[in-house]
């Protein structure tokens, strides 16, 4: 009997581990959501939400969430930190803390469960749900609006194949968030000529995501030139700066390799053909993330 219990426990453990491994995180370095909104009494607004860098807040590790204000739909005007995000991978959940008052809604029903506060985090997304489960939507004017998951499928969104949860009021995409944006479900926000729409999602550098800007104005620098790209086996790093870290990730943000920072030749031959991200960090703390293509 004890052996049966032991092996049953092992089966449950490995099943949970497999579920966690298949989970696609949302708070991924260089993930970028491009969004526009319009109102009956205001001109259209274009902005991007982007994950850049790490932060320790109340003893918990987060990813930093920035807002880029855009002129038209691709030219960057300004950049500011608006909050923090983290994935609870084993439990398939996403949490956030927002600082910018533009995203602090007033609850309509007196329920403060969903009220953003810079002193505590709230649950943004629960991807552990399945068909028939109720999800609490904390993104609609601060009201705790419950909706039932009606469909579960794998669909293509912005060129990526992702698990998708659908209901009468929203479409939730694992690793991306709502179909209409990271923090708001557009279908519920459209009223009286007001709407929100996500028109692109991208993981990569600003250039990869077709955002035009002066890098210096945003406090970032191009640390190095990487070549050849695409490559079949090796990539070379040309820089005058001392690097503190070199890291290679897949497009889901999983760390694959961390070569010695002193190297200027990185061997990619162990990796399968595909697209990857390489992140460079200088001794001064400057960063550069660039997309690599392995042939």
Sign of torsion over alpha carbons 260, 267, 278, 19: negative
What does the pLDDT read at residue 213?
A: 65
3-state DSSP call for residue 188? Answer: helix
pTM, whole model, 2 decimals? 0.63
179/146: higher pLDDT: 179
What does the pLDDT read at residue 13?
A: 45
Say which range, 36-50, 117-131, 132-146, 247-261, has the weakest mean pLDDT.
Answer: 132-146
Contact predicate 264/221, CB 8 Å: no
Share of the chain above pLDDT 70, in %: 70
d(CA 42, CA 39): 5
Each residue's pLDDT tens digit, 246-266 = 988 877 667 888 898 888 899
What does the pLDDT read at residue 10?
A: 47
What does the pLDDT read at residue 83?
A: 83
Share of the chain above pLDDT 90, in %: 16
What does the pLDDT read at residue 241?
A: 82
What does the pLDDT read at residue 42?
A: 57
What does the pLDDT read at residue 174?
A: 94
Architecture of domain 221-294: Sandwich (2.60)
All structural domains of the chain with their residue ranges: 2-203, 221-294
Q: By C-alpha distance, which of 47, 51, 53 is closest to 76? A: 47
Three-state SS string over 16-61 comes to: HHHHHHHCCCCCCCCEEEEEEEEECCEEEEEEEEEEEEEEEECCEE
Would you place residue 87 in the very low, low, confident or very high pLDDT band (cuts 50, 70, 90)?
A: very high
What burial letters (b/e) apply to 99-131, b meaning 16+ CB within 10 Å? Answer: eeeebebeeeeeeeebbbeeeebeebbbbebee
What does the pLDDT read at residue 17?
A: 44
What does the pLDDT read at residue 46?
A: 83
3-state DSSP call for residue 8? Answer: helix
DSSP state letters, 167-182: -SS-EEETTTEETTBS
């Amino acid at each position: 009997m004890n052996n049966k219990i032991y092996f049953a426990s092992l089966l449950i453990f490995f099943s949970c581990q497999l579920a966690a491994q298949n989970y696609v995180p949302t708070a991924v370095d260089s993930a970028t959501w491009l969004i526009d909104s319009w109102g009956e009494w205001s001109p259209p607004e274009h902005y991007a939400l982007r994950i850049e860098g790490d932060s320790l807040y109340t003893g918990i590790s987060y990813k930093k969430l920035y807002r880029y204000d855009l002129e038209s739909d691709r030219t960057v005007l300004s950049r500011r930190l608006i909050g923090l995000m983290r994935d609870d991978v084993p439990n398939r959940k996403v949490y956030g803390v927002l600082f910018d008052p533009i995203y602090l809604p007033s609850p309509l029903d007196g329920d403060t469960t969903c009220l953003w506060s810079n002193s505590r985090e709230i649950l943004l997304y629960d991807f552990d749900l399945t068909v028939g489960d109720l999800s609490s939507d904390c993104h609609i004017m601060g009201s705790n609006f419950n909706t039932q998951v009606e469909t579960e499928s794998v669909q293509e969104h912005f060129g990526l194949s992702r698990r998708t949860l659908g209901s009468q009021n929203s479409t939730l995409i694992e690793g991306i968030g709502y179909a209409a944006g990271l923090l708001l479900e557009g279908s519920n926000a459209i009223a009286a000529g007001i709407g929100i729409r996500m028109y692109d999602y991208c993981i990569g550098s600003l250039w990869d995501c077709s955002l035009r800007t002066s890098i210096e104005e945003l406090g970032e620098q191009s640390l190095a030139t990487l070549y050849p790209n695409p490559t079949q086996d090796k990539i070379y790093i040309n820089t005058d700066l001392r690097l503190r870290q070199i890291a290679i990730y897949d497009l889901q943000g999983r760390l694959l390799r961390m070569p010695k920072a002193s190297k200027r030749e990185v061997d990619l031959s162990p990796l399968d053909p595909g697209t990857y991200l390489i992140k460079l960090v200088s001794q001064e703390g400057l960063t550069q993330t660039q997309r690599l293509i392995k042939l």
